[in-house]
Amino acid sequence: MNTKKIIIAIDGYASTGKSTLAKSLSAHYGYFHIDTGAMYRAVTFYALECCRISNRLLDYQKLIKNLESLRIDFKLIDSQSRCFLNDKDVDREIRTMSVLQSVSEISAIKEVRSYLVNQQRILGKNKGVVAEGRDIGTVVFPNAECKLFLTATPQVRAKRRYKEMKQLQVSTQYRSVLYNLNKRDKLDKSRQHSPLVKAKDAIELNVSSKSVNQVFNCAKKIVDLKLKL
């Protein structure tokens, strides 16, 4: 058994299966799973609940001022990692369409990013983590030993997300999922702070025509090689 602990960084477009892969890799290696998307969603959920000026407007100053009071962590419940915000399980609430519609806007705020990046680095300080997101290999853990970057066509990704939301009984339509996905891709890639880009030393995996198992096996081979180095 290899006792070496590394950081596995998984970045890529929305709905490419980063969470599914991160979950199976963390279970396989006994690593802690950091779902940074869930952290941005939890801050967005808080902003929508507590920082509204009107139906359309959010009070960014209030959000920035209150960031330090937000405690986001992950707990294993029935062997599933769930996201908690100030000790409340918000894992279902952070996956609704209303959170999805505002998360790109909130995750573009410089102060939100630096607060969460700091939290993520604390979670990964002892290594032995699988961290997934958009800026893990470039900003959060630029020295991660293993960096993967997942891609797939927008249609494949929208189908995945639509199926997932149906399973969670979140009411939506395929068309609006695809529209939201394309919009988020554009915002994630074009934002000023930590835009979504592939790290130079990341290995790209196109998962469009791969099963969950095939993606896991591909990633596992890469991680095993990195563990031997």
H or E segment and range at residue 147: strand 146-151
Please, what is the minimum distance in Å from the beta carbon of residue 174 to ligand DC?
17
For residue 34, what are the contacts with CB-CB under 8 A and spacing of at least 6?
74, 120, 123, 124, 129, 130, 131, 132
- Rounded to an integer, what distance in angstroms lies between the CA atom of residue 217 and that of residue 213? 6
- Which of 31, 40, 149, 216: binder of ligand DC (CB under 6 A)? 40
Please, what is the minimum distance in Å from the beta carbon of residue 21 to ligand DC?
12
- Which of 135, 149, 162, 181: binder of ligand DC (CB under 6 A)? 135
HEC assignment per residue over 157-205: HHHHHHHHHHHCCCCCCHHHHHHHHHHHHHHHHHCCCCCCCCCCCCEEE
**At residue 72, what is the residue type?**
I
- Which of 8, 16, 29, 41: binder of ligand DC (CB under 6 A)? 41
Please, what is the minimum distance in Å from the beta carbon of residue 228 to ligand DC?
28
- Which of 24, 81, 104, 119: binder of ligand DC (CB under 6 A)? 104
137: contact with ligand DC by CB under 6 A: no
Which CB, 91 or 135, lies closer to ligand DC?
Answer: 135
Which CB, 1 or 183, lies closer to ligand DC?
Answer: 183
For residue 49, what are the contacts with CB-CB under 8 A and spacing of at least 6?
none
* Torsion over CA: 187, 190, 194, 199 (sign): positive
14: contact with ligand DC by CB under 6 A: yes
- Which of 81, 107, 119, 180: binder of ligand DC (CB under 6 A)? 107
- Which of 8, 9, 22, 37: binder of ligand DC (CB under 6 A)? 37
For residue 74, the SS3 value is strand
Task: Return residues touching ligand DC (CB under 6 A).
Answer: 14, 36-37, 40-41, 103-104, 107, 133-135, 184, 188
